[in-house]
Amino acid sequence: MPQHEYHFYVYIMASRSHDLYVGFTNNITRRVSEHRAGRPGAYTARYNINRLVYCEHFTYVLNAIAREKELKDWNRNKKLALIEASNPTWQDLAADW
């Protein structure tokens, strides 16, 4: 019986003014769409956080959850440095989805 391959993502969304949101999902395309739809009252809608600027892929859910918790505990400057190391222009990684 073939093994099923799992996909989990830890991601950072940002606004144009660099307000940040760290999240975790098993479907990055759907989750980015949800953020862009802007559910009223949600933090991401309130601050217009709708650009995917950082993403990590995991096969194991516990590793993804641990990484999300780690990133959420980081201070803002450390998160900014992480984003700028892999995406120095803050390009929307999901712009053409």
pLDDT at 23 over 70: yes
User: Tens of pLDDT along 43-93?
Assistant: 999 999 999 999 999 999 999 999 999 999 999 999 999 999 999 999 999
- Joined tokens for residue 60: 């194991």
pLDDT at 3 over 80: no
pLDDT at 2 over 70: no
Q: Check residue 54 and report its DSSP letter.
A: E
CATH hierarchy code of domain 8-86: 3.40.1440.10
Instruction: Give the number of other Cβ atoms within 10 Å of residue 36's Cβ.
Output: 17
pLDDT band per the 50, 70, 90 thresholds, residue 39:
confident
Instruction: Give the number of other Cβ atoms within 10 Å of residue 44's Cβ.
Output: 21
Map out the domains of the chain as residue ranges.
8-86
pLDDT at 1 over 70: no
Distances (CA, A) of 55 to 62, 87, 88: 16, 10, 14
